[in-house]
Amino acid sequence: MSRAERFGLSAALTMPFDADMRIDVPKALAHAQDCLGRGCRSVTLFGTTGEGSSIGYDERGNVIRAFIEGGLEPSQIIVGVMANSYVDAAAQSRLALDAGCRGVLLAPPSYFKNVSDDGLFDWFSAVFKEIGAGLRGIIIYNIPSVTAVEISVALVSRLREAFPGAIAGVKDSSGNWTYTQALLAKHKDLAILIGDERTLAAAVRLGAQGSISGMANLYPDRLLPLIEEGRDDPAVIEAVEEILKFPVVPAVKAILAHHNQDDAWRRTRAPLQGLSDTDAKRVTGIFDRLFIAAAA
């Protein structure tokens, strides 16, 4: 597969909020345009880094419309869906697909714990049937550290067999290298996307097509060689290990606020809380040392 055919890099876009905790759409659009201008092929709205579980249906529609009216091609937009009800998950998915967006990053239901593969198969099947004729571009989202649900390789196979052509890829944010290897061995013809940047280059060397990455909000240029060449970057590995010592979403926002000299970026919607000033200075100092000072 040529570089042009690969999925490439998508920024798991952070979502800015104004003082009333409404989405600051113009700022979000400007940030998306900046990420695309720095090498991202797409932006992913309402994922984990974008606090997608805290974004309502009407807000989603407003942001998608504003992005397209603001000049983004629908093919440059992926929409994250995180809902427990298959009816809600399908409605959010249709909102994106009907707008022509490239696809949907679909997380499993996460309220009920210890569910079986059969139960997950039934849930995804219900979502797909509810979406209807417009079903396409589904990227299954495996992030068990958040959902407490692991998407098995066998479940991906069952869903592909039952719904041919519906699944475009899997985003693997498990951080489990054995799982990543098994997923690539079985489903390399899909866009296997790596959420843990520490293993991104190694996965690309085995056939992964790219990443939907929170770090792409900050340093897309440092991630491109990992995706395009499968080249390891020790600074990226160290940066991920450091950021995992903090609540990740507030940490990414603190670094973005620091780089943009705009403290409004530090706002997070409840139940998340922004970093303390002390922690914000610590994490921004770490990243300045790893990337800015090293490049000087």
127-178, pLDDT tens digit by residue? 999 999 999 999 999 999 999 999 999 999 999 999 999 999 999 999 999 9
Q: So what's the pLDDT on residue 41? A: 97
Question: How confident is the model over 258-277, as a mean pLDDT?
Answer: 97
Cα three-residue angle 196-170-191, rounded to 5 degrees: 95
Task: Tally Cβ neighbours within 10 Å of residue 14.
Answer: 23
Report, as an integer, the average pLDDT of 49-59: 97
Specify the amino acid at residue 221: D
Residue 118 tokens read as 């059969």
The whole-angstrom separation of Cα 29 and Cα 13 is: 10
83-86 contacts, C-beta under 8 A, 24 or more apart: 83/109, 84/109, 84/110, 84/111, 84/112, 85/109, 86/123, 86/126, 86/127, 86/130
CA–CA distance from 281 to each of 154, 159, 242, 285 (Å)? Answer: 44, 45, 13, 6
Distance CA 76, CA 158 (A): 29
The model's confidence at residue 292, banded by pLDDT at 50, 70 and 90, is confident
The one-letter amino acid at 174: S
Please tell me the distance from the alpha carbon of residue 141 to that of residue 147, in angstroms, as a whole number: 10
Tokens at 84, concatenated: 């427990």
pLDDT at 171: 98
Helix, strand or coil, per DSSP, at residue 11: strand
Pairwise CA distance, residues 135 & 155, whole Å:
18
- Give the global pTM: 0.96
Sign of the CA dihedral running 263, 290, 225, 169: negative
- By CB atoms closer than 10 A (0-12, 13-18, 19+), residue 50 is buried
Q: What pLDDT is recorded for position 43? A: 98
Give the integer Cα–Cα distance in Å for 128 and 1.
28
Q: What percent of the chain has pLDDT over 70?
A: 97
Give the tens place of pLDDT for each residue, 57-112: 999 999 999 999 999 999 999 999 999 999 999 999 999 999 999 999 999 999 99
Instruction: Look up tokens 């649900």; give the residue.
Output: 149
